[in-house]
Structure 1
Amino acid sequence: MGTGDPYTTIAEPTFVARFLLDPDTDTVSAVANVDAFVDLPDGSTWALTIFTVDEVGRLLARWRETGEVASGSYFWAVGQLIVPEPGVSAMIAAIRELVCNGDITSAGVRCEGQDRGTSAITGQ
């Protein structure tokens, strides 16, 4: 992460993933809810919101208490990807598979006509 760069960037031969980590709370090994952008060699960029299974449960429980989202009766996000455990390494493994099998174009939201890094996703 460079000075003034809000992203933690992981470059692989078939993609570059940029994670918008909160510098005050997120760590690379423990992040459980993050917006990410996946840049492909063809110039396309795909946005994902990545959650862990436990984070989804935590959000539903919180909403049940606060009354939000019909008292936690459902969960959804545009371009959602759920991984089994926290951390950028688990997220990269999932992104790698999505890119390899071509599912990134179904799972992600294409960021057309936007500046790189401008989210097409609204956060939870």
Structure 2
Amino acid sequence: MGITDPCVTIAEATFVARFFIDPHEDTVRCVANVDVVVDLPDGSRWALTIFTVEEVRRLLARWMETGEVANGSYFWVVDQLIVPEPGVRAMTTAIRELVRSGQITSVGLRCEDSD
């Protein structure tokens, strides 16, 4: 059995984004919490964790029940980006704007070369 690609790749002229999700159609359409690596033409690489607003609500509610994160009293991620809708399409729209505006360097976490 061969190795399948563990991500969905979106390539545009100004960036390549790799969403680390199962490429199954339902997952692509409905993903609400995903790690993404964005490569820019200048060779820089940026990591993001993208959540939907509803996913943040779901996590906070779960943590209130489990007692985690001070009973769900806060939510944070270093490289977090919150979007209003689920799915790779909505997330790609946000990435496109971050790249266009140059804000990818403020929102994303720069990945250092492993060389």
Q: Post-superposition shift, 1:23? A: 6.1
Q: Deviations over 1:4-44 (max 9, x none)?
A: 321100001100000001468x7100000000000000111
Name the structure 1 match of 2:17.
17
Q: Secondary structure at the match of 2:28?
A: coil
* Identity among equivalent pairs (%): 74
User: Greater helix percent: which structure?
Assistant: 2
Q: Which has the larger radius of gyration?
A: 2
Aligned Cα RMSD in Å? 1.8
Name the structure 2 match of 1:89.
89
Name the structure 1 match of 2:80.
80
Name the structure 1 match of 2:67.
67
Q: Deviations over 1:39-60 (max 9, x none)?
A: 0001111000000000000000
Q: Post-superposition shift, 1:83? A: 0.1
**Which segments of structure 1 move beyond 2 Å, counting only runs of 4 or more?**
none
Structure 2 counterpart of 1:4, which letter? T
Aligned length: 113
Change (3 A) 1:29 1:39: same
Change (3 A) 1:93 1:23: closer
Q: Which residues in structure 2 correspond to 1:36-75 (within 5 Å)?
A: 36-75=36-75
How far apart in 1 are the matches of 2:68 and 2:22? 23
TM-score using structure 2 length: 0.92
Give structure 2 stretches of 5+ with no counterpart: none
TM-score using structure 1 length: 0.86
Structure 2 counterpart of 1:67, which letter? G
Structure 2 counterpart of 1:94, which letter? A
